[in-house]
Structure 1
């Protein structure tokens, strides 16, 4: 599939801090999370990890955000120390955003929109071929046919 791009993956039991560092260093919209056999289990969106920067009481009421110390962001490493990627995922597993290698741009966009995920896994049978990011999808949708 010409839409699919390579993307690093992490296992459920990988070090959470290492995974978040990879997201940041490569400026990824998300990362595919696999089991030990390499079968995709979930997508960890970078936007979900960003929520770790903000205490829950500020997410509920953003008015105190302007008076909080910027060192809050420095504590992300402390929050992730010793944790696994599994602990960053929602307790209730959501549907894995996945498409088939022969799906169309519209089919991919429909999955992204329905699941509100910036990244989908491209599968062929049970094998991960790559990913499609929202920015890649937009690039393809805007290119002349």
Structure 2
């Protein structure tokens, strides 16, 4: 089985897309992450859902999680507002700007090794320089466990 056999269509966003819209897409489709492209459609990064969650949690709460319990509900309801005026570029740290990619003819093991090396929840599948789909970690596991 090759990468193109298990690759799925997947939504993408650009670096200049609204971060709140990207977060909604991640949430509505229950995606582990999303591929980020430049204006020409060239893959640039993977924005993991966990990074969006990290962005909306105030730094002082990340530093001391016990403070999360003292935030009132109105504050908790407004954490996502932080994304409204931001772009995907604003929430994507530089170290996540390397998109793990697989060739269409890569084996499942090659895809898994690439995903593990990059610690990414998904891998872009490329054929002749064009994005043909995405393989998520759960899709990879599903394919690997069938055999």
Greater share of helix residues, 1 or 2? 2
Cα separation, 2, equivalents of 1:126 and 1:54: 37
Using a 3 Å threshold, how does the CA distance of structure 1 residues 26 and 37 change in structure 2: closer, same or farther? same
Q: Find out whether 1:32 has 2:35 as its counterpart.
A: yes
Aligned length: 144
Secondary structure of the residue aligned to 1:10 is strand
Alignment counterpart, residue 108 of structure 1, candidates 93, 98, 111: 111
TM normalised by structure 1 equals 0.90
Does the 8 Å CA contact 1:53/1:73 hold for their aligned counterparts? no
TM normalised by structure 2 equals 0.89
Structure 2, unmatched stretches of 5+, are none
C-alpha displacement at 1:92, in angstroms? Answer: 4.5
Question: Corresponding residue for 1:132?
Answer: 135
Does the 8 Å CA contact 1:58/1:65 hold for their aligned counterparts? yes
Structure 1, unmatched stretches of 5+, are none
Cα separation, 1, equivalents of 2:145 and 2:22: 31
Q: Find out whether 1:20 has 2:23 as its counterpart.
A: yes
Using a 3 Å threshold, how does the CA distance of structure 1 residues 53 and 93 change in structure 2: closer, same or farther? closer
Alignment counterpart, residue 51 of structure 1, candidates 47, 54, 65: 54
